Homo-oligomer: A and B are copies of this chain.
Amino acid sequence: MAKEITSQAEDYSQWYLDIVNKAGLASNSKVRGCMVIKPYGFAIWEKIKADLDRRFKETGHVNAYFPLLIPKSFLSREADHVEGFAKECAVVTHHRLMNDPNGNGVVVDPDAKLEEELIIRPTSETIIWDTYKDWIHSYRDLPLLINQWANVLRWEMRTRPFLRTAEFLWQEGHTAHASQEEAQAEARQMLDVYTDFVESIMAIPLYKGEKTAHERFAGAENTYTIEALMQDGKALQSGTSHFLGQNFAKAFDVKFLNENNKEEYVWATSWGVSTRLMGALIMMHSDDEGLVLPPRLAPIQVVIVPVPKPNEEINAAVEKIMTELKAKGISVKYDTDKKKRPGFKFAQYEMEGVPVRLAIGKRDLANGVVEVARRDEKTKESIALEGIAEHVEQLLEDIQSNLFNRAKKFRDDNTTKVDTWDEFVAAIEKGGFAYAHWDGTTETELKIKELTKATSRCIPLENPFGEEETEGTCVLTGKPSKRRILFAKAY
């Protein structure tokens, strides 16, 4: 595999597409905006899924599955919701094809028109709350803590693999509660679950915060978000958790008898992350040699390459190393392909982002050493075979924290506190987050976007500089502002 990828400096966008392609993560399909997730990409997604699923279950959630298709009328019940999703729905109108009697091949059978059109779920609040109406009657039925792993579809005009596709895979949690406080706490808890996962497993530092009214989910009262900063200075919303108030309970008439035998509407949350996380993962750590994966998500953590070819002596040494690594729960691959040269293999595993590479030749064995290369810093050293498993184990941990720390440094270095419009424009042009006062109106947000392409990312829950929040004046309008919020250009 030749290292034929565009460099970041030359064209960041093409660099991203090249990695997706050359590392075997995804490919385009003939269906507009829909990608094929290839086996290597899917193996990473499976690891993301398994870890998140465990965290959801540990916090008391169970999985279920709801229909793919939603009656058109359901969408219309919540006014903001339909406003948000109607413009990008795939609509099923018929249920049969037929051979055209006029010889035009296979066509839609006009007699198989549906009485009511169905849409492919863009998100499942409506079909789920219609179901919850049957499941919830009393406070004893609450809380209902359900998650669904599913595909959803939004007819996006401009798509990019993982980052924005028409169909994507995600999980959507939908919970029902007896009180506002409990629902609010759930929405915040899931934001923390996401944050801990993304920071500790994906090695991506985050700003946690609340969205402004304009950026809220369609139908939510509060939307919490985690925002990451990519290497090109653009922010990426990586997950959201919504406090839905009683909006969907009212739209679908879901009430419960409380402990005092009084009827109340149910309180709701929903929260989701998607295959978009794969896009964040790729962009966050990778370089001009290809993908860089944090060890905790790498399907193969260590690859061993015999130099120049496998032989009995090398095989015996490798077998011992592999046994030791596997005993430590480290996934390892021994590449015995005789048709490919070591240099070719090195380039291939660099492209695929395998965190650690061991190369073993005859002379290494004679000296009781092995060459250890780390993918993140592109360094190599000669390490004694004795104790090699412990060394690799520690190295994987070092790589995991190194990836997080360098990403955090980059993020912090590119978060700028600004006071004037000129400073704001300069910070956005340079790339990264601008922490700025804003007058709190959607009008100003839209004007800022028009002028700079920057959008409000969040009102962070913790001050990015570890300082107290202060009042001030809006960078654009000069009107009073209670506090600063984060702006950036975003994916």
Contacts and interface: CB of A to CB of B under 8 A. Distances in A.
A76 B106 CA distance: 7
B68 A153 contact: yes
B36 A67 contact: yes
B131 A108 contact: no
A34 B68 CA distance: 8
A153 B155 CA distance: 20
Contact of A90 (B34, B92, B127, B151): B92
A426 interface: no
Interface string A14-48: 00000000000001011100111111001101100
A365 interface: no
Taking residues whose C-beta sits less than 8 angstroms from the other chain, chain A's interface range is: 35 or more
Given A89-B97, A91-B92, A66 B106 contact: no
A263 interface: no
Nearest to A117: B108
A213 interface: no
A427 B209 CA distance: 69
Interface in A396-450: none
Given A30-B130, A95-B91, A108-B91, A39 B62 contact: yes
A69 B42 contact: no
Nearest to A130: B30
Given A67-B31, A95-B91, A106 B72 contact: yes
A127 B69 CA distance: 21
B87 A96 contact: yes
A38 to B, nearest CB: 6
A120 B34 CA distance: 13
A369 interface: no
A151 B68 contact: yes
A108 B88 CA distance: 11
A146 B99 CA distance: 32
Given A95-B91, A97-B75, A134 B27 contact: yes
B67 A29 contact: yes
A160 interface: no
Interface in A358-404: none
Contacts of A29: 66-67, 127, 130-131
A112 to B, nearest CB: 8
A284 to B, nearest CB: 22
A167 interface: yes
A134 B27 CA distance: 10
Interface of A: 27, 29-31, 34-39, 42-43, 45-46, 62-76, 82, 86-99, 105-106, 108, 117-120, 127, 130-131, 134, 146, 150-151, 153, 155, 167, 169
16 contacts: A27-B131, A30-B74, A31-B71, A36-B64, A36-B65, A36-B66, A39-B64, A42-B63, A68-B68, A69-B90, A86-B98, A90-B92, A91-B96, A91-B97, A92-B93, A151-B151
